[in-house]
Amino acid sequence: MLFFTQCFGAVLDLIHLRFQHYKAKRVFSAAGQLVCVVNPTHSLKYAPTRCAAAQASTEQGILPPCHHHEAVHDPQLVPCTCPLFSCPWEGHLEVVVSHLRQTHRINILQGAEIVFLATDMHLPAPMDWIIMHSCLGHQFLLVLRKQEKYEGHPQFFATMMLIGTPTQANNFTYRLELNRNQRRLKWEATPRSILECVDSVISDGDCLVLNTSLAQLFSDNGSLAIGIAITTSKVHSSEAEI
């Protein structure tokens, strides 16, 4: 009975995922955009935060994840950059993508323009929706986080991080766009390097920030569709418009 119960639960999860994907394809296929359905994951590393732990790591002579590097072939090891876990892994920047895919099972989608469909937005904070985006010969990490910055007031934070150095990140511009019911919200900025710490970017608010009411305006049955576009640019700009 336990075996069949587990199998039945897995089948229901698969049906739910395919249904979400079908709805997304029906909405966005006309625009010729690739759709990635992303389910929420509960983060296991909010206390202590990675940036707070970095100070202790520095005292022990370990390279902190928020340390800035300008060279790809830095001899120092880079700690795991996955926002979800306090992972003890360390390695060179060139193998971070392999680690994220193989160890943390983070999906990767290719294409200049894609749609990030986050499901189950109603779940309580903290929650993360994460994918990797391969584009223009580089890999980017898109993080959507639901977090209570103020007690009782959850917010959504979306940012794009380049899996590379800050110098490389300055060569790109990313755009996050929400479009529903004759409303449009767009955020455009230069991506930050994954070496700069995702937690710091979200804490500083240097990303697309949505309160619950605004997120509901753009959501559809608990799912939020975010259009993503990446271009090569050296223009440093950041704007939000509605």
Give yes or no for residue 7 having a pLDDT over 70.
no
Give yes or no for residue 238 having a pLDDT over 50.
no
Please tell me the predicted confidence (pLDDT) of residue 76.
65
* Structure confidence at residue 211 as a pLDDT band (50, 70, 90): very high
- Span 87-131, pLDDT tens digits: 889 898 899 999 999 999 998 888 878 999 999 999 999 999 999
User: Which of 38, 5, 33 is closest to 20 using CA atoms?
Assistant: 38
Please tell me the predicted confidence (pLDDT) of residue 173.
96
Give yes or no for residue 41 having a pLDDT over 60.
yes
Could you tell me the CA-to-CA distances from 127 to 19, 138, 163 in Å, in that order? 22, 26, 22
Domains of the chain are 30-42+75-232 (2.60.210.10)
- The Cα–Cα gap between 189 and 122 comes to 27
Mean pLDDT of all residues belonging to the chain: 78
Residue 205 tokens, joined: 């608010």
Q: Compute the average pLDDT of residues 203-221.
A: 94
213 vs 16, more confident: 213
- Specify the residue for token string 């929420």: 40
Q: Is the peptide bond before 126 cis (omega within 30 degrees of 0)?
A: yes
Beta-carbon contacts of 154 under 8 Å, excluding residues fewer than 6 positions away, are: 124, 125, 146, 147, 148, 212
pTM above 0.85, yes or no: no
- Span 11-34, pLDDT tens digits: 445 454 455 445 444 444 434 467
Pair 173, 231: CB distance under 8 Å? yes
User: Which of 41, 14, 40 is closest to 223 using CA atoms?
Assistant: 40
Please tell me the predicted confidence (pLDDT) of residue 1.
53
Tell me what percent of the residues of the chain surpass a pLDDT of 90. Answer: 45
